[in-house]
Amino acid sequence: MKFFLPYWEDWVHRDFDPVADTYSGGYESSLFAHEIFNPPPYDGILLSLGMFEFKLKLLKVNGRPTIRGYENVKEYLRVGSLNIPIMGDCGAFTYVNEKEPLLTVDEAVKTYSLLGFDYGISVDHICSDVILVEDGKEGVFSYKNKTRSRGKQKIELSEEELEFRRRISLENAEEFLKKAEGFHPVGAAQGYSVETYLDSIGSLIEMGYDFIALGGLVPRETRFISELLLALKGKGFLKKAKFHLLGVLRRELLPLMRDLSIYSFDSASYLRKAWLKATKNYLGVDGRWYTSIRVPDCHNSRLKKRSGEIPANLEDMERRILKGLREYDRGELKSYGELLEEIIAYDRLFLRNEFREEKYRELYRELLESKIWKKCSCPVCRELGIDVVIFRGSNRNRRRGFHNVHVFYKELQGLKADAGKRLEQFSEEER
């Protein structure tokens, strides 16, 4: 069971100095997780063509697609010598609110082929129960009902509309397989029930696909995914093709996925929890999630909203907190009580949503008391020390995300090595 890490230009600066808070350059100074950890904390990388629209701006030079001047995705990611396969998908989530996919089969095939992807997933359309559209655009869809949400129309698609999306995915997959060249084609299976997923999978196998990616599962309940995976076995599909789960990482599902010999899956959840979650940003080697301590830059623009209340000694306050945390890390500060209160006072200035003093005081106390970062021997924790659990800027936050992925990957390797826990841990009802 292989783990692919989705990539959205998640790199850090090679020359980052956490004490001076300095770094230089852009991509030319980049450092990827697979260049920090040996071996890399993943088996492959998933790169979505939808990312180009938002970040990389896929440019064409003499008719060829390029990424930051590179004509080969492996050269851009610097994985040539590491034997890390690159899988591409069409980024269906970027056009989920559209009537039809915005990417054509020809465009996807050309991009996968010319950029040197190892695997390319066919152009699909997510069978999402609910989508958001601009006012006036709901008329092109068949839907059950609509409501206003965030200034848009929130519409619940009809079964007819969901079936339309599923059929488009299958039609594209058939054309995609005929035109694929230079990479291993992967058929995207979409559905809105276990039965429709199975029908899509059966159709893809009949077309000739030997590798199938199950899409649209992220919002599904774990029970639904479990039922679908067990149905794959019941239908005999697991003997006819390899399967990849797009965007799915559920700890409780991993034993079942292993026992059914699911080939691969991808998820960026452990990476992005490091900076997107209000709490539970650092995965300890004890398997527990800890909340990183927020010490934002005192020049943060959010402070301007309370310019009249900003203490004159704010920079000194920030500097004193960072110094105190590092002294505590080195054992020079025996008691963290006063430091913790200063952190809370500083944190209060930034008007964070859902900021509850007692909650964060206890979460920060739990982290400081555990010194969990000192129990990890990974290169990120060894290099940064307590800075790995300080929520402050992308260089710390992404490195913390790399650490999270590393800890999860070690757990995954242990799970794969443990052949003793079989399907018996799932109840008859789940089967």
Which of 74-88, 174-188, 407-421 bottoms out in mean pLDDT, i.e. has the lowest? 407-421
Q: Which of 43, 89, 347, 387 is flagged as catalytic?
A: 89
Determine contact, residues 10/38, Cβ cutoff 8 Å.
no
Q: Which candidate, 48, 403, 366, places its Cα nearest to that of 213? A: 48
Alpha helix stretches (DSSP H) within 335-429: 337-348, 357-370, 379-384, 393-417
422 assigned to some structural domain: no
Calculate mean pLDDT across residues 394-401.
Answer: 98
Q: Rounded mean pLDDT of 29-39?
A: 97
Question: What percent of the chain lies above the pLDDT cut of 90?
Answer: 81
DSSP 77: H
Confidence label for 334 from pLDDT (cuts 50, 70 and 90) = confident
Pair (246, 327) in one structural domain? no
The three-state secondary structure class of 391 is strand
**Could you tell me which residues come within 8 angstroms of residue 76 by beta carbon, excluding any fewer than 6 positions away?**
67, 68, 70
pLDDT average, residue stretch 301-308: 60
Instruction: Provide the percentage of residues in the chain whose pLDDT is more than 70.
Output: 92
Mean pLDDT (whole number) for 150-162:
94
Domain that holds residue 30: 2-129+160-267
Residue 337 has pLDDT above 50, yes or no: yes
* Helix runs in 101-193, H state only: 105-115, 159-179
The three-state (H, E, C) secondary structure of 244-270, written as one string = EECCCCCHHHHHHHHHCCCCEEECCHH
> Does 95 lie in the same domain as 229?
yes
Q: Which of 43, 124, 259, 266 is catalytic?
A: 266
Structure tokens at 429: 């009802």
Q: How confident is the model at residue 347 (pLDDT cuts 50, 70, 90)?
A: confident
Q: How many residues does the chain have?
A: 431
The reply to whether 10 belongs to the active site is no
Dihedral (Cα; 106, 112, 115, 119), 10-degree rounding: -170
In the residue annotation, 89 being an active-site residue is answered as yes
Q: How confident is the model at residue 150 (pLDDT cuts 50, 70, 90)?
A: confident
Mean pLDDT for 343-354 is 78
CATH code, domain carrying 178? 3.20.20.105
Q: pLDDT band for position 430 (50/70/90)?
A: very low
CA distance 76 to 67: 7
Q: Which is more confidently placed, 65 or 373?
A: 373
Single residue among 242, 267, 292 that ends a domain in this structure: 267
Based on the fold, state whether residues 311 and 370 are members of the same structural domain: yes
pLDDT higher than 50, residue 265: yes
Residue 177 lies in a domain: yes
| 315 within some domain | yes
Task: Indicate whether 134 belongs to any domain.
Answer: no
Nearest CA-CA partner of 47 in 67, 29, 70, 71: 67
CA distance 176 to 385: 49
Q: In total, how many domains does the chain have?
A: 2
**What is the pLDDT of the chain when averaged over all its residues?**
91
Q: State whether 254 and 285 are in the same domain.
A: no
Averaged over 340-368, what is the pLDDT? 87
Does residue 401 share a domain with residue 371? yes
Range with lowest mean pLDDT among 47-51, 117-121, 324-328: 47-51
119-128 residue pLDDT tens: 999 999 999 9
Same domain, 107 and 11: yes
